[in-house]
């Protein structure tokens, strides 16, 4: 496979990846369907921003945001059936049940762990030790600016954590299970080893003070943009949106079976970070996963960082001692 | 070796059913039509006379038999037609049935953590009372003039809220854990009805399909074909 040169890299040499926007599929169907799947994304985003901007204080609550989020996910699940991007990504009962298990872990076990060891706890400890108060630099700014700052600061942290996971082997071991997903569906973002999910959730936003309403507007960006990373819906996403925000197309490239393609599009919401740091690859891919698309089950996902680390250490020790044992193939070497 | 049977409990993860197709087929012909279902990654199978046994290890997501990872199929003639009798087992159904227990366990752990946090808070309450109220000193956050002009509601006074908040807040909300337990139970019921029906449909479609045509129905091939990498 020849691949396509993007900067200094060849994308699509190991497995098919469509590079660029020219050959991306379009929504098929009548004018109504075309219009719906063309304007759905921006309309939802602007509607959510407007809602949180003007909602009375009694409505502007995190709990309302959670209910909106749940309702939105149900709607997106329905859209996956109506207008799938690929039939080979169709959600099955087993896949849905598996994904729901990981979502459930996020709402229960992970929440408990984060409650005692998460970024809020760490930041509070740092602030206590240094006798710092929260930085109130942003609280006087317009709400939308505050919201964009919250979203971008969090995404900046996620970008570097994610990039670190693809470049430093110990971190990669925690992230690798997430790359064994072979299709994108609405809950696939939750699939992965709990250590990785804990690490990727860490942020530095807690150091800064913002208006509560700004947090809710920032949440709208996460919900109405970040959610589309893992989804099996074909949209005619506007060009300006693709330039600013992460899309399913970008994230499918990141999950492609092609090795070089996986080393791109690290951000969660703002693809601008990837454009800024030179890791953006515009395009899309259908064939996803690792080891030719091997599916990793829940049991293996839970223990993978430890078992793989043990295998690698053993192989290296054998190599050092000159035992001649065939070294276990490294999953994906760090740079 | 005799396998331990637990007749009623086994219904959680095991199914037994049969179907008749109006085509007279020998076992060899029937298994040839079903063959593509077993030509997938992680599948082992063996045929002995009129019986086929299969075992799938972590099948791919789009594998038509992904839910039922082991089973036996028997083909027999039935008055000018063919009867396929089969039994299959599903680890996924069993785990889905057990999942509510895990989430109920998480709910209990959260309850315990909440109790511990409450006790801790009560113990430190007296110490807190002696501390000056920092919220009182903080000025009320103001909206930027642009936001005032655009009509965004002003931030509420945290001190006014403080008077209202009588009930101590739980550190961990247990509602999601209970909701998930219920959701998995519903999902099990859906799966226990839907998946056997889909399996029967898959077998029927494969058997009635003219010989030589792929039996991987509905979703196309198991592996997405790069050439087919076009929008659905």
**By CA distance, what is A16's nearest residue in B?**
B226
E-assigned strand segments in A214-331: 283-284
User: Which of A21, A26, A104 to substitute to test the interface with B, most B CBs within 10 Å?
Assistant: A104
List the beta bridge partners of residue A195.
none
Nearest to A244 by CA among A273, A207, A218, A204: A273
Distances (CA, A) of B28 to A43, A250, B47, B74, B169: 57, 47, 9, 11, 67
Residue ranges in chain B whose pLDDT is less than 70: 1-4, 126-138, 158-168, 210-232
What's B101-158 look like in SS3? HHHHHHHHHHHHHHHHHHHHHHHHHHHHHHCCCHHHHCCCCCCCHHHHHHCCCCCCCH
Name the least confident of A36-45, A145-154, B52-61, B165-174.
B165-174
3-state DSSP helix/strand/coil percent for chain B, to nearest 5?
Answer: 45, 15, 35
C-alpha count within 13 angstroms, C-beta hemisphere, residue B173: 8
List the beta bridge partners of residue B85.
B18, B74
User: Which of A29, A60, A88 to substitute to test the interface with B, most B CBs within 10 Å?
Assistant: A88
B69 in helix, strand or coil?
A: coil
Nearest to A25 by CA among A301, A204, A225, A285: A285
Q: Determine which helix (DSSP H) or strand (DSSP E) holds B16, and give its type and residue range.
A: strand B14-21
Residues 6+ apart with CB under 8 A from A64: A55
Residue indicated by tokens 């300006």: A240
| Amino acid A2: pLDDT | 81
Flag if A54 and B190 touch (Cβ within 8 Å): no
Nearest to A228 by CA among A200, A248, A256: A248
Flag if A57 and B191 touch (Cβ within 8 Å): no
A271 to chain B, minimum CA–CA distance in Å? 23
How many residues belong to chain B? 232
Rounded-to-integer distance, Cα A82 and Cα A98, Å: 22
| Amino acid A181: pLDDT | 96
Q: Give the strand order in the sheet containing B81-89.
A: B14-21, B81-89, B70-78, B51-56, B43-48
Angle B110-B115-B119 (CA atoms, 0-180°, nearest 5)?
Answer: 145
Name the least confident of A100-104, A150-154, A181-185, B49-53.
A150-154
Distances (CA, A) of B59 to A158, A193, A200, B87: 32, 20, 29, 18
Contact between B112 and B186 (Cβ < 8 Å): no
Kindly state the tokens that stand for A56.
Answer: 């009375």
ipTM confidence: 0.87
- At B29-68, the pLDDT tens digits run 999 999 999 999 889 999 999 999 999 998 999 999 999 9
- At A289-335, the pLDDT tens digits run 999 999 999 999 999 999 999 999 999 998 888 765 554 455 554 44
Q: Cβ of A331: how many Cβ atoms within 10 Å?
A: 16
Rounded-to-integer distance, Cα A217 and Cα A145, Å: 10
Which CATH code fits B7-94+188-220?
Answer: 3.30.310
Task: Name the residue facing A88 among B107, B156, B219 (closest C-beta).
Answer: B219
Please state the rounded mean pLDDT for residues A154-169: 93
Contact between A135 and A232 (Cβ < 8 Å): no
pLDDT of residue A48 exceeding 60, the answer is yes
Contacts 24+ apart (CB under 8 A), A221-226: A221/A45, A221/A147, A221/A148, A221/A151, A221/A269, A222/A151, A222/A268, A222/A269, A223/A48, A223/A65, A223/A68, A223/A69, A223/A72, A224/A41, A224/A44, A224/A45, A224/A48, A224/A72, A225/A45, A225/A269, A226/A268, A226/A269
Name the least confident of A23-27, A128-132, A287-291.
A128-132
Q: Cβ of B28: how many Cβ atoms within 10 Å?
A: 12
Q: Which residues of A touch B220 (CB under 8 A)?
A: 87-88
Listed by start position, the domains of chain B span 7-94+188-220
Q: Which residues of B touch A287 (CB under 8 A)?
A: 224, 226, 229
User: Which of B94, B120, B139, B152 to substitute to test the interface with A, most A CBs within 10 Å?
Assistant: B152
Please state the rounded mean pLDDT for residues A153-175: 94
Flag if B194 and A101 touch (Cβ within 8 Å): no
Rounded-to-integer distance, Cα A166 and Cα B131, Å: 47
Rounded-to-integer distance, Cα B17 and Cα B73, Å: 10
| Amino acid B141: pLDDT | 79
Residue indicated by tokens 């247990």: B174
Kindly state the tokens that stand for B203.
Answer: 């077998």
């Amino acid at each position: 496979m020849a691949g396509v040169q993007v900067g200094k890299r060849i994308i699509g040499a190991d497995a098919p990846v469509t590079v660029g926007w020219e050959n991306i599929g379009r929504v098929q169907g009548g004018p109504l369907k075309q219009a719906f799947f063309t304007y759905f994304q921006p309309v939802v985003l602007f509607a959510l921003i407007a809602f949180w901007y003007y909602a009375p204080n009694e409505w502007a609550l995190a709990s309302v945001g959670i209910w909106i989020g749940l309702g939105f996910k149900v709607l997106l699940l329905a859209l996956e059936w109506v207008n799938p991007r690929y039939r080979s990504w169709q959600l099955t009962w087993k896949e849905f049940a598996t994904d729901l298990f990981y979502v459930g872990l996020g709402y229960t076990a992970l929440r408990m762990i984060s409650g005692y060891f998460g970024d809020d706890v760490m930041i509070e400890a740092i602030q206590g030790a240094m006798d710092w108060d929260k930085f109130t630099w942003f609280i006087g700014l317009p709400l939308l600016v505050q919201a964009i700052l919250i979203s971008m600061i969090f995404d900046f942290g996620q970008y570097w954590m994610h990039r670190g996971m693809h470049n430093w082997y110990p971190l990669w071991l925690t992230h690798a299970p997430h790359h064994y997903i072979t299709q994108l569906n609405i809950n696939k973002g939750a699939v992965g080893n709990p250590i990785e999910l804990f690490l990727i959730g860490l942020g530095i936003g807690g150091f800064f003070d913002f208006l509560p309403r700004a947090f809710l507007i920032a949440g709208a960006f996460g919900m109405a943009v970040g959610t589309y990373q893992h989804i099996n819906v074909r949209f005619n996403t506007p060009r300006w949106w693709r330039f600013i925000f992460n899309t399913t197309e970008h994230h499918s490239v990141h999950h492609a079976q092609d090795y070089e393609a996986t080393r791109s599009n690290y951000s969660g919401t703002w693809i601008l970070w990837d454009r800024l740091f030179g890791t953006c690859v515009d395009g899309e891919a259908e064939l996803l996963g690792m080891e030719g698309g091997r599916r990793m089950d829940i049991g293996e996902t839970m223990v993978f960082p430890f078992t793989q680390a043990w295998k690698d250490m053993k192989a290296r020790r054998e190599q050092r001692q000159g035992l001649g044992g065939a070294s276990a193939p490294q999953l994906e070497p760090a740079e | 070796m005799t396998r331990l049977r637990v007749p009623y409990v086994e219904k959680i993860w095991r199914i037994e059913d049969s179907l008749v197709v109006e085509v007279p087929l020998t076992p060899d012909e029937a298994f040839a039509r079903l063959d593509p279902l077993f030509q997938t990654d992680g599948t082992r199978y063996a045929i002995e006379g009129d019986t086929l046994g299969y075992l799938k290890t972590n099948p791919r997501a789009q594998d038509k038999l992904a839910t039922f990872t082991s089973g036996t199929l028997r083909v027999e003639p039935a008055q000018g037609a063919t009867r396929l009798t089969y039994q299959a087992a599903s680890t996924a159904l069993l785990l889905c049935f057990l999942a509510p227990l895990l989430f109920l366990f998480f709910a209990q752990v959260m309850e315990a953590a909440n109790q511990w946090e409450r006790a801790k808070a009560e113990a430190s309450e007296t110490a807190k009372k002696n501390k000056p109220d920092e919220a009182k000193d903080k000025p009320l956050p103001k909206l930027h003039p642009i936001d005032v002009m655009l009509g965004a509601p002003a931030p509420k006074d945290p001190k006014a809220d403080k008077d209202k908040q009588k009930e101590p807040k739980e550190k961990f909300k247990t509602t999601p854990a209970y909701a998930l337990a219920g959701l998995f139970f519903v999902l099990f019921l859906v799966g226990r009805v839907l998946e056997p029906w889909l399996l029967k449909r898959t077998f029927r479609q494969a058997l009635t399909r003219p010989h030589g045509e792929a039996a991987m129905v509905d979703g196309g091939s198991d592996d997405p074909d790069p050439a087919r990498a076009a929008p659905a």
